[in-house]
Amino acid sequence: MSDSPDSRRHIVRAAMKAPYLEREEERELAVRWKQAEDQEALHKLTSAHMRLVISIAARFRNFGLSMTDLIQEGHVGLLQAAARFEPEREVRFSTYATWWIRASIQDYVLRNWSIVRGGTSSAQKSLFFNLRRLRARLSKGSDRMDDPSLYSEIALAIGVSQKDVALMDSRLSGPDTSLNAPIIDSDGSSADRQDFIASTDPLPDEVVGDEIDRERRSEWLNKALLVLNKRELRIIRERRLAEDGVTLEALGIKLGISKERVRQIESRAIEKLRSALIESHQDRSAFV
């Protein structure tokens, strides 16, 4: 739906024309909808509460999203409230619907405010929607607006960590930026923003060094395995060198011995391997 001033005025005018409902009339419409799925009753009930939807949607207009879309999402929450409302509980529909309308709009804001998904837990949602208000209130009458010491007070008020507050504050401080956005250097040359992101991959010399060390240790191990007899070698291969090592009990069944005997042979084989490796390479730091 278009977010032009005309479309918004049309929605507001339609909402203002809808009559207010008395408590008994509201309950009667809710009962008709719940028991008989009367579409006319649902239309009257929801139309009468579109003022509430618009009022709640207006509280979220500072997130840079279409006011018309916010109202539409609020209307979805209103319909959800109508589907779940229990008139026999003697609660006004507006009181019950407020929670569904707000939740629907908040979910829409979280999904569309940024391309990066955030605020999935209830504490994170509370932080997202209350951070600016709390910072403004805590820094009122002072120049503390950018003081990181505010983080501890905000974290305590909302029930999250200071790290979460700092991260959310940084996200709210600016819009999303494409990694392909150009950056102009002082000399006039340009490059993509992603070109300046530090890689977390190991350096080439580290990769080569690790590969050499891995091949060397593999060679040492293969030579040390020669000191084991046939049964010891099988136990070590199936218990220690296989990707999914078998259990002592399963290996004992294969070999026709008890699992305790398998454990003893394994311990003895490991000790023989250790001795062979140390004898061949006196510098134990090579195995660290």
Q: Within 13 Å of residue 81, how many CA atoms lie on the same side as its CB?
A: 26
Cβ atoms of 228 and 236 closer than 8 Å: yes
Cβ atoms of 190 and 182 closer than 8 Å: yes
Round to whole Å and give the CA distance between 277 and 126: 58
pLDDT of residue 228: 93
Cβ atoms of 227 and 214 closer than 8 Å: no
pLDDT of residue 73: 93
Give 228's contacts (C-beta < 8 A, 6+ positions apart). Answer: 236, 269, 272, 273
Q: Which fold has domain 204-287?
A: Arc Repressor Mutant, subunit A (1.10.10)
Structure tokens at 18: 């809808």
pTM of the model: 0.51
pLDDT tens, the chain, 288 aa long: 556 667 777 788 888 888 888 888 888 999 999 888 889 999 999 999 999 999 999 988 887 788 889 999 999 999 999 999 998 888 899 899 999 999 899 888 888 876 555 555 666 677 777 676 666 665 555 444 455 667 777 777 777 777 777 767 666 666 656 677 777 777 767 777 777 777 788 888 888 888 998 898 889 989 989 999 999 999 999 998 888 889 999 999 999 999 999 999 999 999 999 998 888 876 655 555
pLDDT of residue 281: 72
Domain ranges within the chain, ordered by starting residue: 5-112, 122-172, 204-287
pLDDT of residue 8: 72
CATH for the stretch 5-112: 1.20.120.1810
